[in-house]
Amino acid sequence: MKPKDLFMHPFTAILLAIISGSIDAYSFVEHGGVFAGLQTGNTILLGISISHLDFAAIIKYLFSIFLFVLGVVLIKLIQRNLKDDWLRKTIIIEYEVAIILVTGLFVNELPDVLVVGLLSLVAAAQLQEFKLLKGNAFNPLMMTGNLGKIANNVYLTIVDGNEKAKSLLIDTIMIYVSFVLGAIFMGILTNIFHEYAVLFILVPLLMVLIFGYVFKNNEID
């Protein structure tokens, strides 16, 4: 396996989905009911807040949306200037680690809106950079599309006996379940560690880094 393909491996995809589920569960539970990554949810909540003229809520949803967009632009700039796929993805994971670490260390000093904004940068990096699982389109962040893929591939598998659809179905269910597990774990952790639970997101992030470095020059299945 080529080094760049490490980031399309199912193990990496599972960890990325766990990270995404954890980030959104954490930001929503601990920091004012705002999603760091699920901007569709924030947009709906923004609309409701506008209808109620709740200006404090409007600001917090807009800030998350703005930081998410900024995060995508930052990753696009990195993608434009760094063509080595393995190196770029490794640097982006390290960038995510740095943001999570700073957020966790200073979480008590930072306002909720900034904590969510920082996590939105991480979520944007996840969405923009990590898009393939075994060469197929993959989304570790947006589960609506993944649910649609599951339904479509269930149909193709049962009705048409499509083997490729069966493989995609298994992979997509794996991602969906991993995302939910991330939310479950974070729900448990926030009950125990409260705002400091964000630091546990470092565990799967560091696992991705270690996996990439250890197996960079080795063949893996």
* Structure confidence at residue 4 (pLDDT): 56
For 195, the token pair is: 């705002």
Cα 43 off chain centre by: 18
SS3 203: helix
Query: What is the C-alpha separation between 149 and 155, in angstroms, rounded?
Result: 10
Residues in the chain: 221
Q: What is the pLDDT of residues 91-103, one digit of tens each?
A: 999 999 999 999 9
Q: Work out the pLDDT band at 134, boundaries 50, 70, 90.
A: confident
* Structure confidence at residue 208 (pLDDT): 93
Rounded (5°) CA angle 63-73-6: 115
Q: Work out the pLDDT band at 38, boundaries 50, 70, 90.
A: very high
The answer, yes or no, to whether residue 215 has pLDDT greater than 80, is no
Cα 209 off chain centre by: 15
The answer, yes or no, to whether residue 58 has pLDDT greater than 90, is yes
Domain boundaries, the chain: 19-134+193-213
Query: 């599309």: which residue's tokens?
Result: 145
* Structure confidence at residue 219 (pLDDT): 53
DSSP 86-137: HHHHHHHHHHHHHHHHHHHHTTTTS-HHHHHHHHHHHHHHHHHH--EETTEE
DSSP 106: T
Rounded mean pLDDT of 52-75? Answer: 96
* Structure confidence at residue 32 (pLDDT): 93
Rounded mean pLDDT of 135-156? Answer: 84
* Structure confidence at residue 218 (pLDDT): 65
Query: Hey, CA dihedral for 207, 40, 183, 176, is it positive or negative?
Result: negative
Rounded (5°) CA angle 32-130-156: 100
For 19, the token pair is: 């990270």
Rounded mean pLDDT of 39-65? Answer: 96
Strand segments, DSSP code E, in 71-218 are: 132-133, 136-137
* Structure confidence at residue 198 (pLDDT): 97
Rounded (5°) CA angle 137-99-31: 90
Q: What is the pLDDT of residues 150-175, one digit of tens each?
A: 999 999 999 988 888 898 999 999 99
Rounded mean pLDDT of 200-216? Answer: 89
The answer, yes or no, to whether residue 194 has pLDDT greater than 90, is yes
Q: Work out the pLDDT band at 63, boundaries 50, 70, 90.
A: very high
* Structure confidence at residue 140 (pLDDT): 80
